[in-house]
Amino acid sequence: MSVKYRNRLLVVLTALLIASGLSMAWKMEASEGSGKDPQSKRDVLAAWTEGFYQASIEGNRQLAYGYVLKIKSVAGDRELRSLGTKEGWKVLDERLNAAETLIERGEFAYTWREEAARLKLAVDALSRDRNALWRQYERLLREDLSRLRKAWQRGGKEGDASAYAALDQLESHTLRLEAAAAFGAEPARVSLLKERIRYTEKLLQAAPGGPDSANRTLTEGSFMLLGDSVDRLFASDTARSAAVSASGHPSWQWAAMLAVIVLAGLFYTGWQKFRIDRDEITVPKRPYR
């Protein structure tokens, strides 16, 4: 094959490489844009959980059940589950299945309204906003803990009953935000608070009577542990937030741009050789010194 035809072939191949590189980039862009990104899917999920919550307030069983099915249809999406934590999704799945079962069994609306509230808080927490709804429960948990201490200090049967009621409310609020906190904080922090609530409950059952009980020191210590758990649960974690959804792979745009630059350089070199051979231009060699 002559030099002339070889250079022509080089030009054609280079042009084809550039075209194929751009075509591949366009296809990748189209494929990425064809589906919704995880945040858009989260927005859809948030709209449906809000609809479920409103239906539960209205007591509309049929509408609520429809929203539960919609939520289940998108909650299993793999891209969507790249947001949040495995522990959070596990709890969310459990609450979603519980809501479906309660509605199917014909339970009263207030039972699946609680599940709707848990789901709403959990999906809202996926945005990892510092002003997420579940964080507003910090004040409620601290109020529950304050009532628990005051009731226990009163002593007697009335004090014991009030202490149990306050502890029950603390547990109820904790369970409501469990999935949301697992998304918005370290899941272990939620588990720690639940364990300490159970520990305090056992102490109250074992030795009623408030300050006059045999387990006074242990009970007072358990209250301190509860306060510490609440502090840990709502502590900010900037480092962890910054690390979420981090990726070490370069975007396809940069790869495509680099490919075009390289191929353009090859095209220019090939064209120069072709032009020189076509016009029979002789490039003088630099003399050796």
> Mean of the pLDDT values across residues 87-113?
94
| pLDDT of 28 strictly over 60 | no
pLDDT of residue 251: 40
| Model confidence, pTM | 0.67
Rounded distance between C-alpha atoms, residue 87 and residue 48, angstroms: 22
Ranges of H-type helices in the chain: 3-34, 38-58, 61-75, 86-104, 109-125, 137-154, 156-176, 178-184, 187-206, 216-233, 238-243, 252-278
Q: Higher confidence at residue 15 or residue 230?
A: 230
Structure confidence by residue, pLDDT tens digits, 208-218: 777 777 678 89
Rounded distance between C-alpha atoms, residue 77 and residue 73, angstroms: 8
pLDDT of residue 208: 77
Which pLDDT band holds residue 128 (cuts at 50, 70, 90)?
A: confident
pLDDT of residue 8: 58
Rounded distance between C-alpha atoms, residue 174 and residue 285, angstroms: 83
Rounded distance between C-alpha atoms, residue 123 and residue 88, angstroms: 10
Q: Higher confidence at residue 283 or residue 176?
A: 176
Helix/strand/coil (H/E/C) assignment for every residue in 56-112 = HHHCCHHHHHHHHHHHHHHHCCCCHHHCCCHHHHHHHHHHHHHHHHHHHCCCCHHHH
CA 226, 231, 236: angle at the middle one, nearest 5? 155
Structure confidence by residue, pLDDT tens digits, 230-274: 999 998 654 344 333 333 333 434 344 444 444 545 555 555 555
Rounded distance between C-alpha atoms, residue 200 and residue 181, angstroms: 21
Instruction: Say which range, 36-45, 83-92, 109-118, 257-266, has the weakest mean pLDDT.
Output: 257-266
Rounded distance between C-alpha atoms, residue 33 and residue 26, angstroms: 11
The answer to whether 221 and 250 have CB atoms below 8 angstroms apart is no
Query: CA-CA distances (angstroms) from residue 151 to 53, 137, 144, 161, 275?
Result: 33, 21, 11, 8, 95
pLDDT of residue 185: 77
Which pLDDT band holds residue 206 (cuts at 50, 70, 90)?
A: confident
pLDDT of residue 124: 93
Nearest in space to 267 (alpha carbons), one of 17, 2, 6 = 17
**116 alpha-carbon distance from chain centroid:** 18
Which pLDDT band holds residue 129 (cuts at 50, 70, 90)?
A: confident
Rounded distance between C-alpha atoms, residue 45 and residue 65, angstroms: 15
| pLDDT of 286 strictly over 70 | no
CATH class of 38-128: mainly alpha
pLDDT of residue 272: 56
pLDDT of residue 2: 57
CA 56, 57, 58: angle at the middle one, nearest 5? 90
3 state SS of 244: coil
CA 106, 77, 234: angle at the middle one, nearest 5? 80
| pLDDT of 104 strictly over 70 | yes
Structure confidence by residue, pLDDT tens digits, 40-61: 889 999 999 999 999 999 999 9
Amino acid sitting at position 245: S
The answer to whether 81 and 172 have CB atoms below 8 angstroms apart is no
> Mean of the pLDDT values across residues 110-126?
94
The answer to whether 112 and 56 have CB atoms below 8 angstroms apart is yes
3 state SS of 55: helix
Q: Which fold has domain 135-235?
A: Four Helix Bundle (Hemerythrin (Met), subunit A) (1.20.120)
Instruction: Say which range, 22-36, 103-117, 128-142, has the weakest mean pLDDT.
Output: 22-36
Residue corresponding to tokens 């069983």: 61
